Amino acid sequence: MQKKHTARDFDFEKYQPSFWALNAWWMAPAAVFALTVALTVFSFPPFKAMAFAYIFAAPACYWAFTRPRFKTYALVMLGAQAVAWTIILSWLHHVTWGGLLLLGPFIGAWIGVWYLAVWWGLRDFVGRPFLVRVAIMLGLAALWVLIEWTRSWLLSGFPWLPLGATQWRNIAVLQVASFTGQGGISFMLVVFNFAFAAYMHRLFRERQSGLRKRSPEFSVALLVLVFAVAPFLADVWVHKQPENTEPYGRFALVQPDIPQSIKWSQENADLSFDTLARLSVVASQMAPDVIVWPEAAPPYAVHGWSASDRLRAWLDEVATKAKTPIITGAVTSDDAARPDDTFYNAVFVVDPARDGVQSAGYKKRHLVPFGEYVPLRPLLGWLQKVSDVSSGDTQAGASAQPLFVRSGAKLFVAGMLICYEDIFPGLARDNARMGADVHVVVTNNGWFGEGGAAYQHAAHSVLRAVETRRPVIRCGNSGWSGWIDEYGVIRGEMTNRDGSIYFRGTKTFEVTRDSRWTGAQSFYVQHGDWFMIVCAVLVLFGYAMARFYLSRNKTPPTYAETVIEKV
């Protein structure tokens, strides 16, 4: 039996501390801060480095294994999240610098709560039994999902860029969302991050050798990845077979590229009218079944304003010349006497064969705080909206009733989502439950310049397509426009000759669908956010296991004790 060494056997006079040992107190926090910011930012669109999403939280988890002081750890991680999310949302400066400098740190702090839970969970991790370690890992991954879920409804909701959006071009990983919703993707990614950090710690800090280098957490993470991906690979392969693909319709997308700074000015109204009319006539030459215009395309209201009668007549005239029904975003009001008090962001169908503008339109259900209304107006009434369409607050609609578009013998049942709405899984789910066979997203990303906003926004539509197993057709004022099939595959994207999505033009897409999903509903559409209940149970189980083992073993083993025991 080998002799156990003590401090008396160590020659302190010959020991020369390394540069790292002398400076680790500031280098470790600095390194974790820089890596966390960089990996988080580059994981998300518009960057094409989605592999970083598998290690973005690994530096923070690895650092937590070393038991840094809580105050230091909290300051570094909350600061890193504030910086990362301010960079991710940097496109917001085109609208408001104040909003950017408030929202970025706020979202960072919201997500930063998870990193604080990591510090607490990992203080009881090293040297614990396998079941305890896995319970903590799964519990922390589930906690991430629950925190993301609260972002979809708390304080009116801002679920922009869930972790699952990083995989918007990874078809194999996306498919689990049809079963669990976007939370399943996030869960899998966080498990992998945690397991990778545990493996690195086992290798470099616990100094295991031979087969002991293998991390049980990493093995479990690989199993989670396999079980999340493997069941859907056959569906994706079968989807690619021609016999399962049926034509749906030809959709022409019109991208007018009207600068937001002049869109609502009276002197520039003719620019919008002329551009929309000209591009629609050009689009009609490709014999589409439907022409789609973006959010609030014409600069006047369809109903309720003094110019509404002329606008409806003009819309009917354009659709008649194009000989094609038009789906257009437009503002509207229910009360001509008080238009600002009953103002809606809406979508209407213009059918030249059936009396022009249809009376039944879709009204936006989830409004943008400070963009379309001022929340808590009695307290915050001194703040102004970003939008200058109307001086009053936009009103919210309440119905997910789809729009019916007839084109010859074809009938399209379109579930509508206006701009911001496609970041909310529940709204797309309601569309599918109401019988929509396709989602049509009309948006105006002209507010946000030519940065990453359009790509980040489009990533949400990919998630909605997979969750509901419905194609998504997107039309923006200037990028991102195109269509996505039921499996999240981007089948068409509007770009100019230079490959840019920011331009004025039109393009017609032949939209198809998987016949197996015609009239069928995905598991997620049928059962909703059931995965949140599973995550809540996993969080409680992980917490209970950590507390139970700690109560039985008051003092966690040190790294040295762990190594000696292994030897």
Q: How many percent of the chain have pLDDT more than 90?
A: 62
Higher pLDDT, 267 or 256: 256
∠ CA 313-319-323, nearest 5°, is 140
Higher pLDDT, 467 or 100: 467
Higher pLDDT, 336 or 334: 334
Nearest residue to 438 (alpha-carbon basis) of 468, 408, 393, 418: 468
Question: Lowest-confidence range among 66-70, 127-131, 343-347?
Answer: 127-131
Bridge partners of 326, per DSSP, are 291, 350
Q: Region 469-494: what's the mean pLDDT?
A: 95
pLDDT at 13: 57
Over 60: is that where the pLDDT of 388 sits?
no
Given pLDDT bands bounded at 50, 70 and 90, which one contains residue 235?
confident
Q: Region 98-121: what's the mean pLDDT?
A: 92
Q: Region 434-457: what's the mean pLDDT?
A: 91
3-class SS at 327?
A: strand
Nearest residue to 562 (alpha-carbon basis) of 261, 207, 291, 36: 207
Q: What is the pLDDT of residues 483-533, one digit of tens each?
A: 999 999 999 999 999 999 999 999 999 999 999 999 999 999 999 999 999
3-class SS at 131?
A: helix
Given pLDDT bands bounded at 50, 70 and 90, which one contains residue 382?
very low
Q: Which residue type, as a one-letter code, is found at position 396?
A: A
φ, ψ of residue 392 in degrees (nearest 5): -90, 175
pLDDT at 343: 84
Buried b (16+ CB within 10 A) or exposed e, 267-285: eebebbbebbbebbbebbe
Whether the CB-CB separation of 103 and 92 falls below 8 Å is answered with: yes
Helices (H), 389-503: 425-433, 453-468
Q: Which residue type, as a one-letter code, is found at position 99?
A: G
Q: Which residue type, as a one-letter code, is found at position 111?
A: I
pLDDT at 7: 53
Helices (H), 211-356: 216-239, 260-263, 269-284, 308-322
Whether the CB-CB separation of 501 and 480 falls below 8 Å is answered with: yes
Q: What is the pLDDT of residues 122-158, one digit of tens each?
A: 876 777 888 889 999 999 999 999 999 999 998 788 9
Over 70: is that where the pLDDT of 310 sits?
yes
pLDDT at 3: 56
pLDDT at 186: 98
pLDDT at 336: 65
Q: What is the pLDDT of residues 4-38, one digit of tens each?
A: 555 555 555 555 666 666 666 688 899 999 999 99
pLDDT at 20: 62
Asked whether the whole model's pTM tops 0.85, one would answer yes
Q: Region 186-190: what's the mean pLDDT?
A: 97
pLDDT at 379: 47
Q: Which residues are identified as catalytic?
A: 295, 364, 419
Segment (H or E) for 476: strand 472-476
Tell me the average pLDDT of the chain: 87
pLDDT at 563: 40
Bridge partners of 483, per DSSP, are 473, 492
pLDDT at 135: 94
Give the span between the Cα atoms of 100 and 203, in whole angstroms. 41
Give the span between the Cα atoms of 399 and 5, in whole angstroms. 73
Given pLDDT bands bounded at 50, 70 and 90, which one contains residue 233?
confident
